[in-house]
Amino acid sequence: MTFPSDSAQLLDATVDALAAVRETGPLVHCITNDVVVNFTANALLAVGAAPAMVDVPGEAGMFAGIAGGLLVNLGTPHGEQREAIEEAARSAAEAGTPWVLDPVAIGALPIRTELAGRLREIGPTIVRGNASEVLALAGAGAGGRGVDALDDVDAAAQVAAELAGSTGGIVAVSGPVDLITDGTRVVRVANGDPLLTKMTGGGCALGAVMAAFAATGDDRLATTAAAVAVYTVAAEIAAEQASGPGSFAVAFLDALSSVGADDLRQRAALS
Amino acid sequence: MTFPSDSAQLLDATVDALAAVRETGPLVHCITNDVVVNFTANALLAVGAAPAMVDVPGEAGMFAGIAGGLLVNLGTPHGEQREAIEEAARSAAEAGTPWVLDPVAIGALPIRTELAGRLREIGPTIVRGNASEVLALAGAGAGGRGVDALDDVDAAAQVAAELAGSTGGIVAVSGPVDLITDGTRVVRVANGDPLLTKMTGGGCALGAVMAAFAATGDDRLATTAAAVAVYTVAAEIAAEQASGPGSFAVAFLDALSSVGADDLRQRAALS
Amino acid sequence: MTFPSDSAQLLDATVDALAAVRETGPLVHCITNDVVVNFTANALLAVGAAPAMVDVPGEAGMFAGIAGGLLVNLGTPHGEQREAIEEAARSAAEAGTPWVLDPVAIGALPIRTELAGRLREIGPTIVRGNASEVLALAGAGAGGRGVDALDDVDAAAQVAAELAGSTGGIVAVSGPVDLITDGTRVVRVANGDPLLTKMTGGGCALGAVMAAFAATGDDRLATTAAAVAVYTVAAEIAAEQASGPGSFAVAFLDALSSVGADDLRQRAALS
């Protein structure tokens, strides 16, 4: 059901997508959780995008219609934010704004699980999560314990492809090797560093970066894989300079702002 | 309509104001957005003030009455926070607590624009924003795209002076050269570094620092210019040590806590 | 009323508790304030625990029942969060999940003071605060000015013991020398660095770390003292590498992740 991807072509697309983000500075509308909202804004700025955190009902809908991309992250879904999320997702779908759904900890927790089910029906351009979240969104999950992955990426591959088929979008499953699929093709990215999981927001901010990259072109599989590759290559560069999770987070933002075509060509493990 | 300021006198006032902040540790009440609230608290601590983030209705009003200064930032104006903001602004006005209004992204977004209009009527001691926000608050704006400035500082100078005249307070317009006016006099501060715009909260935390400096004396034009000078000189020092936006944010907090009279006398470009 | 503790035994218990946190990675449910939520999650990850910030009513109660420990921090108690807090505290009490109450700025501010009174009746496993907060919770306080301590730790010792007697739990009073009591025994920890008070969240994140350590064993006095010792020894290590509050925060997370038995045996001043 899956076809081998051309690594060289994916790498070229990644280099081009990064250049496009830096040239155009896409406006990324984020509705995300309280824990990672600062880091997410800083990650977007570092990579070259323009973050705007607009999560008030009455503003979120109109803003999703003019933004380059939208991130919806369910990490701390307060009542007012839930209302803003539905408003923004519907507006994005109508306006053609690409939007990312990160269904944090669904399966384990009821309020967000119910919301995620409704959002799935709107058709997210990209779903990003760990294996347990993707399984839960597909209705096949065993629940989760928050932002940690309890299920295996490979175990989720088939379910991810089916989910992508049903949403008509991309599904990205994070793990030691990230998997991105449009339901037919599969791309794997074998970069990153364990320190990404020792700082909060390592996964959540990637969702925002995917929205930034989605704003640059219509080949969603390629731009999503590009976002993952840029992000995880930056993590590798940062890890080489880090003494622990605190210095890693700092070095990671530096690396996101300086990572270039040469780094990608030397390091990106796209297949 | 504007008179040249005496640079030497402004510099002395800046040095004195910084010393006063460090000696008295003014209690700064902040009602600000989710994205920058941590960085804002850390910036206040670094410069020598005592932050307190009190944004619950029923607490915000009484606290604004006893604080040394108040910041109201409209970046993520949730319903409960909007209520707390009006309560706090009215209490500050009654108690004579100096208060700063940062009308983030008004013009572009309706809920906060309407709120900003009401707050303007209460008479903020200081308005701080980029050119597009100041123009929007004055009712002359072209809207904005969030925390980025799309309009020019100089283009906003006349409108800023008129706005200051109508509020009876100070208006500070951020940009490569910051402009501070009380409606009659104008001070310009030509310090800072582009990295301040590559980390989230660079402008928002300055509003809180203005509130801290306002707590130290009644010459609001001088204390506001002092806050801008201290903040942007610290940014220059930090930029010299930074490898990117992550390390810049860290070095900036260090510099805010260590910047001294000598640094100001060597670097501050007040006119 | 108090008995001298055996320092060597306390030190062994501290080393064991840290090892247990790292081996078991306890799931720590946090309901905390907007200012420190990111730093708190990162501190938990650094020390080896798994943070989950679940503060939505309808989710908080069930999650407190399955978590290893719960932190309730009253720093920014919005209406929805107050509801989640009571739900979580009652669920934790029923399920036997150890839970920490950090009554930030009670005494000075009415909404949280009233809530803290109700939470006290549920019987927090651990109360953590500065002297003024502990005095206020005990009903004997003089109010506070936020997260700064205005009262002396020693002055609070007797009140802390009485409070512990009434809650049936532990009371930990932070200060230059931290005091931990179960109402009968008293442990003092004379570690730390003033830089811990120059970054926001220095006290708040400690409450979360206490919840993580409480998940590892039933001797709450020992695990709470262990949490304080590990945390404040890490602060000492970090301070030696820091140039100010910004670099301190970064080094502190690194130190929390690397602090080991040897560091504790050389530095921890438990008595």
Is C56 in contact with A111 (Cβ distance < 8 A)?
A: yes
Q: Do A52 and B146 touch (CB under 8 A)?
A: yes
User: Is residue A43 included in any domain, yes or no?
Assistant: yes
* Confidence label for A153 from pLDDT (cuts 50, 70 and 90): confident
Domain that holds residue A90: 7-267
pLDDT, residue B1, reads: 37
DSSP state of B79: H
Residues of B in contact with C247 (CB under 8 A): 250-251, 253-254
pLDDT for the residue numbered C1: 37
pLDDT, tens digit (0-9, with 9 covering 90-100), for C180-204 = 999 999 999 999 999 999 999 999 9
* Numbered residues of chain C with Cβ closer than 8 Å to any chain B Cβ: 33-36, 38-39, 75-79, 105, 108-112, 145-148, 198-201, 243-247, 249-250
Partner residue facing C245 (CB), from B51, B56, B257 = B257
Tens-place pLDDT, residues A52-97: 999 999 999 999 999 999 999 999 999 999 999 999 999 999 999 9
Residue of B nearest to A59 (CA): B109
One-letter amino acid of B252: F
pLDDT band at A228; cut points 50, 70, 90: very high
Which one of A112, A145, A246 has the shortest CB-CB distance to C254?
A246
| C253 to A211, C64, C225: CA distances (angstroms) | 29, 26, 19
pLDDT at res. C151: 60
Write down the pLDDT at residue C99: 98
The phi and psi torsions of B90 (rounded to 5 degrees) equal -65, -40
- Pairing relation of β-strands C69-73 and C27-31? parallel
pLDDT at B151 (0 to 100): 60
Q: Give the number of domains in chain C.
A: 1
What would the pLDDT profile of B135-185 be if each residue is shown by its tens digit? 999 986 544 444 445 567 777 899 999 999 999 999 999 999 999 999 999
- What average pLDDT score do residues A106-134 get? 96
Q: Which two tokens stand for residue A198?
A: 């020792």
Instruction: Give the lowest-confidence range in A94-103, B244-253, C2-11, C230-239.
Output: C2-11
pLDDT category at B81 given cuts 50, 70, 90 is: very high
Residues A38, B33: C-beta atoms closer than 8 Å = no
Q: What whole-number percentage of chain A has pLDDT above 70?
A: 94
**List of chain B residues whose C-beta atoms are within 8 Å of the C-beta of residue C109:** 54, 56, 59, 62-63
Which residue in A77, A199, A245 is closest to C56 by CB distance? A77
**Residue C141 placed within a domain:** yes
**Mean pLDDT for all residues in chain B:** 94
CA distance A256 to chain B (A): 9
Identify the pLDDT of residue B5. 57
Q: How far is CA B157 from CA B153, B190, B204, B224, in A?
A: 6, 15, 20, 16
- For chain A, give the mean pLDDT: 94
pLDDT score recorded for residue B150: 52
* C-alpha Rg value of chain A to the nearest Å: 17
Query: Average of pLDDT values for B204-221?
Result: 97
Examine the pLDDT at A149 and tell me if it is beyond 70.
Answer: no
3-state secondary structure of B100: strand
In percent, how much of chain B has pLDDT > 70? 94
Residue A92 domain-assigned (yes or no): yes
| Cross-chain residue pair A246–C258, CB shorter than 8 Å | no
Q: Report if residue B2 sits inside a domain.
A: no
More confident residue, B80 or C146: B80
b/e burial code for range A70-85 (CB count within 10 A of at least 16 → b): bbbbbbbbbbbbbbbb
User: For C38, which of B38, B45, B51 is closest by C-beta distance?
Assistant: B38
Report residue C30: phi and psi, to 5°. Answer: -120, 130
C5: tokens are: 């503790």
pLDDT of residue B147: 46
Of the partner residues C111, C147, C250, the one whose CB lies closest to the CB of residue B56: C111
**Residues of chain C positioned with their CB less than 8 A from the CB of A247:** 250-251, 253-254
Confirm whether C233 is domain-assigned. yes
> Which chain B residues touch A if contact means CB-CB below 8 Å?
33-36, 38-39, 75-79, 105, 108-112, 145-148, 198-201, 243-247, 249-250
Look up the pTM and report it. 0.95
**Would you state the pLDDT for residue A6?**
86
Q: Which residue among A78, A146, A147 sits closest to C80, beta carbon to beta carbon? A: A78
Identify the pLDDT of residue C150: 52
Q: Is the pLDDT reported for residue A160 higher than 50?
A: yes
Residue A140 reports pLDDT greater than 70 = no
Of the candidates C37, C256, C258, the beta carbon closest to that of A34 is on C37
Find chain A residues with C-beta within 8 A of B247's C-beta: 250-251, 253-254
> Neighbouring chains of B at 3+ CB pairs within 8 Å?
A, C
Q: Which amino acid type is present at position A123? A: G
Q: Which helix (H) or strand (E) holds B82?
A: helix B79-95
Q: A59 vs B243: CB contact, 8 Å cut-off? A: no
Max CA distance (Å), chain B: 46
Note whether residue B217 is domain-resident: yes
Phi, psi dihedral angles at A195 (to 5 degrees): -60, -25
Span C33-53, mean pLDDT? 98
CATH of the domain at A159: 3.40.1190.20
DSSP string, B202-233: TTHHHHHHHHHHHTT-S-HHHHHHHHHHHHHH
Segment C63-96, tens digit of pLDDT: 999 999 999 999 999 999 999 999 999 999 999 9
Q: Is residue B118 part of a domain?
A: yes
Return the pLDDT at C140.
Answer: 61
Answer for the pair C46, A245: CB distance below 8 angstroms, yes or no: yes
Give the gap in angstroms from C-alpha B261 to the nearest C-alpha of chain A.
Answer: 29
Q: Do B245 and A41 touch (CB under 8 A)?
A: no
Chain B residue with CA closest to C247: the answer is B250
Q: Residue A144: its pLDDT value, please?
A: 44
Per-residue H/E/C for chain C = CCCCCCHHHHHHHHHHHHHHHHHHCCEEEEECCCCCHHHHHHHHHHHCCEEEECCCCCCHHHHHHHCCEEEEECCCCCHHHHHHHHHHHHHHHHHCCCEEEECCCECCEHHHHHHHHHHHHHCCCEEEEEHHHHHHHCCCCCCCCCCCCCCCHHHHHHHHHHHHHHHCCEEEEECCCEEEECCCCEEEECCCCHHHHCCCCCCHHHHHHHHHHHCCCCCHHHHHHHHHHHHHHHHHHHHHHCCCHHHHHHHHHHHHHHCCHHHHHHHCCEC
pLDDT value at residue C144: 44
Q: How does residue A4 score in pLDDT terms, banded at 50, 70 and 90? A: very low
Q: Give contacts of C46 with chain A, Cβ < 8 Å.
A: 198, 244-246
Decide if pLDDT at A145 tops 70: no
Q: Where is pLDDT greater, at B224 or C149?
A: B224
